Structure 1
């Protein structure tokens, strides 16, 4: 608990003071610019590593510890109600997990604000979020990842009850989280990707675009809660049917498969079918298409071009005046322009008021299977070919040199 409430603040404050930033981490490249980037960097790390491990330590051991110590019969004599024991242990584990998550969020936020300050945050489409808006989005992002965390907690309770003294019960939430992370890296259909319990660990990215890409995030939250409720209910039923009179019975056995794995597999299949039929998630394909990539890149470029214009003290220009568009292909046109990969190449075209000839800039895109991409500038040098720009106040980071973006896997929210 102490580590969760102190370590993120120290990490964020320390990294924000360094000359080298974790630019390969989402929002890591903005840790010098605003304190609101810090809690988002912590959130990305927590969703991948910290929260699965914490739920394993707490929920995965809350029942198994009684099996290792052989104290079930003593506990039943004292309490006499298996239902009350289950509810008390489940609520105790939930309370600890909520306090750990709150510690990570508050600590990371405090470290960022104290080290850098309350400044606007650059979103994933290049637009600036005012400090108040950024604070609300950060809070909402941390709130949304509670759903997949509760899903892992329910799986931890199920493993702790069903597997007893076996160490697999303790490791089950972490293994499930690792499996879903590996699955998210694979070219899975969108419907299957959305049906996985940990999708909200990455879907919060959509909160930092304009308009917000809330569709996939809402689906991820609902799916995470459904997994958590089902896994907890299965753990409850297994616990009530347990024979506590025999010391050799530790809860493990064939029912761990029949009463645990099979219902969760059925939930995954049913959710995939529902998403395919009702939510418009395609049953095949990655959801990453050329039109979506071009629209996302052009929007982000237009926002960031305005930022660069302000840095250089040039005449202000609006996104409508720029009329930025992008033309992208994959593998130099030798592959279908869809799906993840680091072989996307795009040319952005824009116009300036009073100038007849359009401007053009080249970008190399590395798009991951979940829709996140890094756009790496490839010239011209004065626009995006160098990581610094020379401003009247001195050299400053070039916002157009390299930036993060997000492609919505479902139908795009904005058609502009």
Structure 2
């Protein structure tokens, strides 16, 4: 009897290679721990912090964590964009190719798959799948923890307007979706570092180091064009979703820039992978090639993006000026005044009846009223129907370089001082005492 053995000489299909790489990733204990942590830890953190008397008020939406369950996932989103997501992309994408160098398994993998291109696609897709699972875990877990601990209640936006629970849930989901773009950019940089630097630890750390550098740059008073040209700005620009109307310009630019970085870095990683040497078992990457074929093209992309944005957007300097600050403060005060009126069971008034205006100075009027700083001072004026006198209130503002500001009430205490207001869901601080706001960095025009 004669037996016939048929061997498949063609490359393994991408789907099979993808499943194989995904199983390899999920078999690693550190990936399993990360998945477990991302799906459980945010819920516990948000639930515990929401029940505390001392809240993270220095974090965006932190002051509302014990008022609505939809503040928790936004606080977690701010933390994730700064710390968690860069570290997660480093551990997953930054190690997906380098692990083969450390284990010396490239020859076995090439014999099994028989296609450089399909190996790259399979590894990139597998790492992307795991990263998406981690991001979804952070979002779902933090939202579940907040809603279960505090409740499905309205959320106060960054201009003081009140979002119904359904609207708040939609905006939270959209905000988490928007940060996928900069996460993809960091993941692509991780792939590039993993391919270019081999088993070198620097390849693993590259996304985290670049993300930290960009976050530090966002804290500096950079020109608007430079700030928008960095993929990290999309980790901040979701703030604009929580104003009315939404400040979509910076957000859309940030998403577009992030996607361009993701495509460029992935393309560079792919080209380097096709050209690398798989015959040496001690390959440690090529530092020279990493610079010429990796770092320099990305620096060139950053410079080109800055030039395009500088020409396309007429914004100059920091993008923060007196008119923008005054409009933002007046709008937020008008919305929050109506909220306070309802909580105190006073007759309702419309924003048109209030006619709120604000006069803001910086540095006691000695400095030009533009740019970030904690020396902004605003006097807010409004009128009530049937009352001749004009009401006024003073706020001290701390405006950061990314346009976010914290307004701290400085009298009169009956208006914007600290006192508790009894509401159907419990006692809450006076909404006019302290509030967060957002100044859009791109040119805006007052409503006509």
Report the counterpart of residue 363 of structure 1 in structure 2. 395
Once the two structures are TM-superposed, the CA of residue 250 in structure 1 deviates from its matched residue by 3.1
Indicate which of 172, 180, 183 corresponds to 2:206: 172
2:222 pairs with 1:222: no
- Structure 1 residues 63-72 or 339-348, which shifts more? 63-72
Report the counterpart of residue 272 of structure 2 in structure 1. 238
1:267-306 superposed matches below 5 A: 267-282=301-316, 285-306=317-338
Deviations 1:165-203 (A, max 9, x none): 110000000001100110001010000000001111000
Report the counterpart of residue 246 of structure 2 in structure 1. 212
Moved over 4 A (4+): 389-395
Instruction: Give the distance between the partners of 2:248 and 2:254, measured in 1 at CA.
Output: 10
Report the counterpart of residue 374 of structure 1 in structure 2. 406
Structure 1 95/413 Cα, relative in aligned 2: closer, same or farther at 3 Å?
farther
2:156 pairs with 1:127: no
Once the two structures are TM-superposed, the CA of residue 281 in structure 1 deviates from its matched residue by 3.7
Report the counterpart of residue 185 of structure 1 in structure 2. 219
Instruction: Give the distance between the partners of 1:390 and 1:21, measured in 2 at CA.
Output: 19
Report the counterpart of residue 415 of structure 1 in structure 2. 447
- Structure 1 residues 74-83 or 85-94, which shifts more? 74-83
Once the two structures are TM-superposed, the CA of residue 394 in structure 1 deviates from its matched residue by 8.5
Structure 1 395/239 Cα, relative in aligned 2: closer, same or farther at 3 Å?
closer
Q: TM-score, normalised by structure 2?
A: 0.90
2:309 pairs with 1:248: no
Once the two structures are TM-superposed, the CA of residue 276 in structure 1 deviates from its matched residue by 1.3
Specify the SS of the correspondent of 2:56: coil
Is the CA contact 1:275–1:281 (under 8 Å) kept in the aligned structure 2? no
Indicate which of 349, 352, 366 corresponds to 1:320: 352
Deviations 1:63-86 (A, max 9, x none): 011111111112111111111111
Report the counterpart of residue 5 of structure 2 in structure 1. none
1:378-393 superposed matches below 5 A: 378-389=410-421
Instruction: Give the distance between the partners of 2:247 and 2:311, measured in 1 at CA.
Output: 20
Instruction: Give the distance between the partners of 2:428 and 2:187, measured in 1 at CA.
Output: 45
Structure 1 199/349 Cα, relative in aligned 2: closer, same or farther at 3 Å?
same
Once the two structures are TM-superposed, the CA of residue 116 in structure 1 deviates from its matched residue by 1.1
Is the CA contact 2:67–2:428 (under 8 Å) kept in the aligned structure 1? no
Specify the SS of the correspondent of 1:59: helix
Indicate which of 294, 299, 308 corresponds to 2:340: 308
Structure 1 266/362 Cα, relative in aligned 2: closer, same or farther at 3 Å?
same
Is the CA contact 1:60–1:172 (under 8 Å) kept in the aligned structure 2? yes
Report the counterpart of residue 7 of structure 2 in structure 1. none
1:64-79 superposed matches below 5 A: 64-79=98-113
Instruction: Give the distance between the partners of 2:239 and 2:284, measured in 1 at CA.
Output: 42
Structure 1 392/212 Cα, relative in aligned 2: closer, same or farther at 3 Å?
closer
Q: Which runs of 5+ in 2 are unaligned?
A: 1-34
Is the CA contact 2:420–2:428 (under 8 Å) kept in the aligned structure 1? yes
Indicate which of 30, 34, 37 corresponds to 1:3: 37
Indicate which of 68, 89, 96 corresponds to 1:55: 89
Is the CA contact 2:200–2:285 (under 8 Å) kept in the aligned structure 1? no
Q: TM-score, normalised by structure 1?
A: 0.97
Instruction: Give the distance between the partners of 1:410 and 1:388, measured in 2 at CA.
Output: 37
Instruction: Give the distance between the partners of 1:395 and 1:81, measured in 2 at CA.
Output: 64
Deviations 1:226-271 (A, max 9, x none): 1011001000000000111122333222010000011101111111
User: What's the RMSD between the two structures over aligned residues?
Assistant: 1.4
Is the CA contact 1:312–1:392 (under 8 Å) kept in the aligned structure 2? no
Structure 1 29/176 Cα, relative in aligned 2: closer, same or farther at 3 Å?
same
- Structure 1 residues 67-76 or 385-394, which shifts more? 385-394
Once the two structures are TM-superposed, the CA of residue 391 in structure 1 deviates from its matched residue by 7.8
Instruction: Give the distance between the partners of 1:156 and 1:187, measured in 2 at CA.
Output: 28
Instruction: Give the distance between the partners of 1:124 and 1:390, measured in 2 at CA.
Output: 22
- Structure 1 residues 44-53 or 392-401, which shifts more? 392-401
Once the two structures are TM-superposed, the CA of residue 3 in structure 1 deviates from its matched residue by 0.6
2:366 pairs with 1:334: yes
Indicate which of 149, 159, 180 corresponds to 1:115: 149
Instruction: Give the distance between the partners of 1:395 and 1:115, measured in 2 at CA.
Output: 16
Report the counterpart of residue 194 of structure 1 in structure 2. 228
Report the counterpart of residue 384 of structure 2 in structure 1. 352
Q: Which runs of 5+ in 1 are unaligned?
A: none
